[in-house]
Chain A
Amino acid sequence: MEFRYEVEGGNFSRAGHASSAVKKILKQLNVDNRIIKRIVVALYEGEVNVVAHAHKGSILVDIDEQRIEIKIEDEGPGIPDIDLAMQAGYSTASAAVREMGFGAGMGLPNIKKNTDELKIASEVGKGTTLEMITYLQ
Chain B
Amino acid sequence: MKVRDMVQKLGLKVFSGESGLENEIAGGYVSDLLSDVMGNADENFVWMTLQTHKNIMAVASLKELAAIIIVKGLEPDGDTIAHSNEEKVPLLGTDMETFEIAGKLYGLLNN
Contact = CB atoms under 8 A, between A and B. Distances in A.
Interface of A: 12-13, 15-16, 19-20, 23, 37, 40-41, 44-45, 48, 100-102, 104, 106-107, 110, 113-114
Nearest to A51: B55
A12 B39 contact: no
Given A101-B33, A106-B33, A110-B38, A19 B55 contact: no
Report whether over half of chain A's contact residues are helix, strand or loop; otherwise say mixed: helix
A1 B106 CA distance: 44
Contacts of B79: 13
B51 to A, nearest CB: 5
A44 B58 contact: yes
Contacts of B32: 101
B53 A100 contact: yes
Contacts of B62: 16, 19-20, 23, 40-41, 44
B85 to A, nearest CB: 15
A104 B59 contact: no
17 contacts: A16-B61, A37-B43, A37-B63, A44-B58, A44-B62, A48-B34, A100-B51, A101-B33, A101-B49, A101-B55, A102-B34, A102-B55, A106-B35, A110-B35, A110-B38, A110-B39, A114-B39
Contact of A101 (B34, B39, B43, B61): B34
B39 A100 contact: no
A20 B57 CA distance: 11
B51 A101 contact: yes
A13 B54 contact: yes
Interface string B42-76: 01000001010111101101110000000000000
Contacts of A15: 55, 58
A23 B36 CA distance: 20
Contacts of A106: 33, 35-36, 39
